[in-house]
Amino acid sequence: MVDIGGLFGKNDRQNPWTPRGELSFEKGLYEDAAKSFARAVEHEPQNSSLWYRLGVSQNRSGQHENAAKSLQKATDLDPKNTDAWITLSTLLADAGRFDEAVSAISHVTLGDSEPYLQELKCEWLERIGRYADAAAVCGHLSSLRPEDRRLRIRLAELIMRAGNFAEAKTLFDQLGSVPADNHGMFTSSAAFCCEMLGDRDGALQRYAALPESEPSGWYRRARLEESMGKYKDAAASYGMVQQYSSDTDITVTVRRALCLFWDGNSRESSVQLEKVLARGYANAELWYLLGIVSFLSGNMKRASEAFLEMVHLNQGNASVWYMKGCAEYLSGRYKEAVESFARMDKLGGDGSRSQSRMKWFQDEDNDMQLFNNSAPTGAAAMAKPEIGAVNVGLATMQSFALSALGRYAEADKTAVRVLDAAPDRLDLQLLHGKCLAALSHYQSAADVASRVIAKDPESLAAHELYASSMMRIGRYKEAAASWENIIRMAPDNNPAFFGVAESWAGIGKYTEAATAYSHLLESMPQDVSLLFGSGDVLFRSGKYAEALPYYEQVIGLSPQTPAAYIGAAACREMLGRYAEAGEALAAAEQLLPGHPGVLIALARVQAEGGNAAAAVDTYAGVLRDYPEIPGVAVQVAKLCAGLGRNEEAADAVVLALKNGEESTDLLVLGGDLCTALGRYDEAADYYSRVAAAAPDNAHVWFGLGHLHFISGDFRETSIGMDKVLEIEPGNTAALRDKAAALTALGKFPEAAEVLHRLIDADEHDTKAMLDLASVLEQMQKYDEALEIYAQYLGSGATSLDVIRRLSSIYLVQGNYEEALAGYDMLLEANPKDPVTLRLRAECLLQLGRYEESADAYAQMLAERPGDDAARYAYASALANAGKTADAVREFSDLVSKNADNTTALFALADVLGRSGKYLESAKCYDKLISLYPKNSFAHLQKAMMLVKLGNLPMSIEAFEAALQVEPKNPFILSGLAFMQMLCGRPAEALAQLEKAERSGAVDPDIYYCRGLICLQQSRFDLAVTAAEKILADHPDHVPAWHLKGRALEQSGHLREAVECLSKVVELSELSDTEES
């Protein structure tokens, strides 16, 4: 090919796109060059050179279709453009358009200096099947290079393909005469040419010289040998083709199988046929051939499969069904055998087969057809079914096959039909007995076995049938005797020992059964079934420790057997080794995940071993996955109740009742659990159901009564507990609840009586003692309560609460010393208890130990400075201790913090008055009156302070203000009268005294004031009358005697006056004597 760069000259400058394209092409920018040349040809469309340049640039840039069009345009404009034709032809060849490439290269005269283009032309001619033309070109090249062996080989192949076999044979012989790696290929090709020329001997002679690694030659040799009847050699040749060819055609395998079959090698033929069938080819003759050769080689299973495939293609051939049934019977496929025999019976004859032709030999010669006869030959022809009333052989096979399939009724029917024709067939009689046993007609089976034994006493099979049938109907003694007969006849018959062991175990002779198992274990020490049997009989006889090693041995031999772990667990459970039993059951559960029986057993041993929580979890898993299993929910309820998991227990009770597992114990448990959980309606329902079924159940009546107690229906509680006490008079729980109910009803005497019964029943019942003491306190029988508390403490029990109660009683009784001692004991246990500190301070205050009380309150205030109640008590203690200044300060502090604290304000006013600060006290009372204008006490206290200040008019105003609040208060009226008397207002004073008397006042001072006013008004008789009213109730009233004496004196009754004054002297002396 000419260099493209030489085509671009220097004189083509008239077109501006041409130099751009040349520059881009020189730089390797072929796509840009193609674009530039495309613009250039637009300006010069008749310029062949530009079209050529455009085509080359497009080809270089990958635009092959456009390049071909451009080059075609260039050759059209200039047919003598050799470079364009050459480039176009190679481009067309690269695109697979060899016809067009040959046409294009034909426009160029190829010289001897261009062998490459001649080789390309030869190749393209070969591609389009012009072998003769290609051979001519190749021959010309070979003449130019006679030493080129490759050209000579190609020439020979092209001549052979052109059909010139004689010349090709000569060339291949010449090539094969020279040793080379591809020597076999030349020999094979020469032999093929001989075949085509009809020279079979020459071809076979040349094939004999083939190397082993030439599969195509060996195939031609096999075909030749096959056509010559040399089947063994042909099979060997086909084998060489299969051995040295990675992608063998299916025909090779078929042909080899046929050659092997024709040569009599059925086994190897079946192997080759399997290879064919594995490729998915279906042909009735081929399947039948495979069935025959498999049957003859003893491969019954494959034979039956092959016959089945054939009948799929040819249903009406009875002999094939018979052969299929025989093969299936001999291979143990009884179900298929029975079906095949039944199908043969339906067909009735040996059927016929239509000729078939293998589809992969459609284009082969007629001599390659497998069969030309209409019926199978050889072994197939000999396999004819027996025709008659009863085909004993066929029926026997059918009966045994049906028996093996478990179709015992049909098998028995067939066996009986055969026995009718051949009654002396003991094997069929035994089959008849086995079928009866399989149909659960054990007595009939035993009778058949007995008849066989009568005819043949040495028949072990009959004895075994008899023994097994006896075992099935529970007649273990007769079974054991029959097994013993078998053992006597055949001492090494291990199944008989096994049967006699089971029979002895069935009648409770566990020792003999264990002995039989031991005998078997001597010869079969690792037989798992024997180990299981030994363990089972020992376990059933109660020898758990002896049974355990057998189960453990099974575990060692077969660790994947769950029953061994279960058996070991049962032994360990009976021996009390619950932890080990749980481990065994856990191992069994790993082998049987989620098995309910294993899980239930595991939960049981966990519970028995004390691991109730794990047992609950295990039971819960069973309950979740198998809620229908009875008893599991009950166990969960009981275990959860024992663990205090009442919510789960109650839910389990609900589930158990839902599953129909109702029982008295379960309902009682449900009632107790629901009561504890506060589900009172459910509890009442449970208790009511039990009470209806068992009216004498005290626990249920107690539960119902307790529910009434919880709901606050104390009357019903008392009635319910009475029912319990009727059934169980000593039921302490019922007595306790009844006492609590009576207490809540306020029936303290009855409650005390019940509590006394509790204490009488158990003198150490401290709870009853405390309850009784509390009731007595409420009855204000403090002395009896103190006795009960003393009894409580005498029992050795210690309780700070009891000490607190005792102190409270002493405080109520005014026994402050004892109360103080109790509070001191309480403070030893808890020195900072604010309640106890307060009560102790109160006791000190009541005892008059004001300074100590003040110190106690001060201690409280140090801890709780914001406690106003404590501060008030502290100020009161200070006031009583004479520390009025401190008391005033504390009370003032309380009032400053809370101006509405009237209690503190009253106390402050009182302390101020007691300290002589009457004016400040009066101001405090004024403040109180402003807050509570109707508080008569404040008015009175204010009046008293004003009296002490000597301000009698203001005092009278205060009394009058108080009188407006309480107009009929005799004390206010009498006080106002006294003040009016002092102020010289006797008439008003007498009027107030009259009102006070009408209001119920009987105070001596009222009459005394009246007497003084009357004396001042010289109304002596009225004065005497007032004095006598006083002396009528108070004969020792000295001022009254003195008033009477003065009135009598003023009225002239001197003798009586002297007597009154003498009485004054007498009483005064007596008073002085008492004081001294």
Three-state secondary structure string covering 836-880: HHHHHHHHHHHCCCHHHHHHHHHHHHHHCCCCHHHHHHHHHHHHH
Q: For residue 155, give the nearest of 140, 139, 178 by alpha carbon.
A: 139
> What average pLDDT does the structure give for the chain?
76
d(CA 971, CA 939): 12
d(CA 160, CA 134): 12
Give the tens place of pLDDT for each residue, 251-292.
Answer: 787 788 878 877 877 778 778 878 777 777 767 777 887 887
Domains of the chain: 212-279 (1.25.40)
pLDDT band at 1019 (very low <50, low <70, confident <90, very high): confident
Work out the percent of the chain whose per-residue pLDDT is above 70.
85
Place of tokens 């093969």: 327
How is residue 199 annotated by DSSP? Answer: -
Q: For residue 867, give the nearest of 894, 844, 827, 896 by alpha carbon.
A: 894
Residue, of 141 and 1047, whose pLDDT is higher: 1047
Kindly state the tokens that stand for 53: 């340049």
What local confidence, expressed as pLDDT, does residue 1035 receive? 86
What local confidence, expressed as pLDDT, does residue 384 receive? 41
Q: Does 20 score more than 60 pLDDT? A: yes
Place of tokens 């040495």: 458
What local confidence, expressed as pLDDT, does residue 860 receive? 82
Residue 933: count of CB within 10 angstroms of its CB: 12
d(CA 263, CA 233): 10
Give the tens place of pLDDT for each residue, 184-211.
Answer: 666 667 667 776 777 777 666 677 666 6
Angle between helices 612-625 and 632-643 (to 10 degrees): 150
Instruction: Please report, for residues 121, 208, 446, the alpha-carbon distance to residue 226 in angstroms, rounded to integers and kept in the order given.
Output: 41, 15, 65
Lowest mean pLDDT across 120-124, 485-489, 686-690, 1033-1037:
120-124
Q: Hey, what long-range contacts does 948-952 have (CB within 8 A, 24 or more apart)? A: 948/913, 948/918, 949/918, 949/919, 949/922, 952/979, 952/982, 952/983
What local confidence, expressed as pLDDT, does residue 386 receive? 43
Kindly state the tokens that stand for 698: 């005290």
3-class DSSP assignment, residue 422: coil
Going by C-beta distance under 8 Å and a sequence separation of 6 or more, which residues neighbour residue 55?
Answer: 66, 67, 68, 69, 70, 71, 73, 74, 84, 87, 88
Instruction: Please report, for residues 300, 307, 356, 382, the alpha-carbon distance to residue 284 in angstroms, rounded to integers and kept in the order given.
Output: 18, 9, 7, 19
Helix (H) or strand (E) holding 817: helix 816-829
Q: For residue 551, give the nearest of 592, 580, 590 by alpha carbon.
A: 580
Residue 869: count of CB within 10 angstroms of its CB: 13
Report the half-sphere exposure of 553 (CA within 13 A, side-chain side).
Answer: 17
Mean pLDDT in residue range 999-1008: 79
Q: Hey, what long-range contacts does 702-706 have (CB within 8 A, 24 or more apart)? A: 702/731, 702/733, 702/734, 702/737, 703/668, 703/671, 703/672, 703/675, 705/734, 705/737, 706/675, 706/737
What local confidence, expressed as pLDDT, does residue 796 receive? 66
Q: What share of the chain is helix, strand, coil (3-state, %, to 5)?
A: 75, 0, 25
pLDDT band at 389 (very low <50, low <70, confident <90, very high): low
3-class DSSP assignment, residue 961: helix
Instruction: Please report, for residues 306, 345, 395, 645, the alpha-carbon distance to residue 350 in angstroms, rounded to integers and kept in the order given.
Output: 18, 10, 18, 80
Instruction: Please report, for residues 5, 163, 548, 860, the alpha-carbon distance to residue 28 in angstroms, rounded to integers and kept in the order given.
Output: 11, 50, 94, 109
Q: For residue 187, give the nearest of 170, 173, 202 by alpha carbon.
A: 173
Place of tokens 């010349």: 167
Give the tens place of pLDDT for each residue, 431-476.
Answer: 878 888 888 888 888 888 888 888 888 777 887 888 788 888 888 8
Mean pLDDT in residue range 1052-1058: 85
Mean pLDDT in residue range 867-874: 79
d(CA 804, CA 633): 49
pLDDT band at 387 (very low <50, low <70, confident <90, very high): very low
Mean pLDDT in residue range 614-640: 80
What local confidence, expressed as pLDDT, does residue 282 receive? 66
Q: Does 571 score more than 80 pLDDT? A: yes
Q: Does 340 score more than 70 pLDDT? A: yes
Q: Does 606 score more than 50 pLDDT? A: yes
d(CA 653, CA 666): 7
Mean pLDDT in residue range 843-864: 81
Kindly state the tokens that stand for 696: 């004498």
Please check whether residue 1058 is in contact with residue 1028, taking contact to mean a CB–CB distance below 8 angstroms.
Answer: no
Q: For residue 1001, give the nearest of 975, 1019, 1032, 1034 by alpha carbon.
A: 975
Residue, of 821 and 167, whose pLDDT is higher: 821
d(CA 528, CA 309): 43
d(CA 493, CA 519): 11
What local confidence, expressed as pLDDT, does residue 964 receive? 77
Buried-exposed string 959-986: b where 16+ CB fall within 10 A, e elsewhere: bbbbbebbeebbbbbbbbbbbbbeeebb
Q: Does 1055 score more than 80 pLDDT? A: yes
Please check whether residue 636 is in contact with residue 623, taking contact to mean a CB–CB distance below 8 angstroms.
Answer: yes
pLDDT band at 147 (very low <50, low <70, confident <90, very high): confident
d(CA 625, CA 772): 54
Alpha helices by DSSP H, listed for 27-130, are 30-43, 48-60, 64-77, 82-94, 98-105, 115-127
Please check whether residue 235 is in contact with residue 263, taking contact to mean a CB–CB distance below 8 angstroms.
Answer: yes
Q: Does 345 score more than 70 pLDDT? A: yes
Residue, of 511 and 176, whose pLDDT is higher: 511
Q: Which of 218-222, 844-848, 1065-1069 has the highest mean pLDDT?
A: 1065-1069
Give the tens place of pLDDT for each residue, 707-766.
Answer: 777 878 778 778 778 887 878 787 777 777 777 877 778 888 887 887 778 777 777 777
Helix (H) or strand (E) holding 379: helix 379-382
Please check whether residue 698 is in contact with residue 728, taking contact to mean a CB–CB distance below 8 angstroms.
Answer: yes
Kindly state the tokens that stand for 985: 């207002």
d(CA 530, CA 678): 58
d(CA 973, CA 960): 9
Burial class (CB in 10 A: 0-12, 13-18, 19+), 930: exposed
Kindly state the tokens that stand for 556: 């060692």
Lowest mean pLDDT across 539-553, 587-601, 798-812, 1057-1071:
798-812
Centroid of chain to Cα 935: 77
> What DSSP assignment string belongs to 962-986?
HHHH-TT-HHHHHHHHHHHHHTT-H
What local confidence, expressed as pLDDT, does residue 38 receive? 78
Place of tokens 């403490």: 793
